[in-house]
Structure 1
Amino acid sequence: IRELRHLEVEIERFYRESRLTDELVGLRNAVRAANIVTLAAWKNKRSMGCHYRE
């Protein structure tokens, strides 16, 4: 989670400093979505469907 957050911060910095392209917007959105999904899975304490915690 820490590495994913670091990646999100770095891409956000690059996003603000660079010329926007479809690829850059897609990368930024993909990393944001990955961070949201990862945090939601981390906070979910129940094992259910594809989500299994030991």
Structure 2
Amino acid sequence: MTTEQLLTTTQVAAARGVSRQAILAAVKRGTLTPAFTLGNGYYLFEPEVSR
């Protein structure tokens, strides 16, 4: 899978109808796992998490 097929935190939040902060909190709690964490701390998610 290429990074072009992955979603940003903002894209996942929009698809789920929640705030970006809610997605970040879910990652911190461990209830949502990103596919990748970039060197700058940004997360990328599989498209399935937006469903």
TM-based fold match above 0.5: no
* Higher RCO (Cα < 8 Å, 6 or more apart): 2
The TM-score with structure 2 as length reference comes to 0.28
Return the index of the structure with the highest Cα Rg. 1
Which structure has more helix as a fraction of its residues? Answer: 1
The TM-score with structure 1 as length reference comes to 0.27
Which structure has more strand as a fraction of its residues? Answer: 2
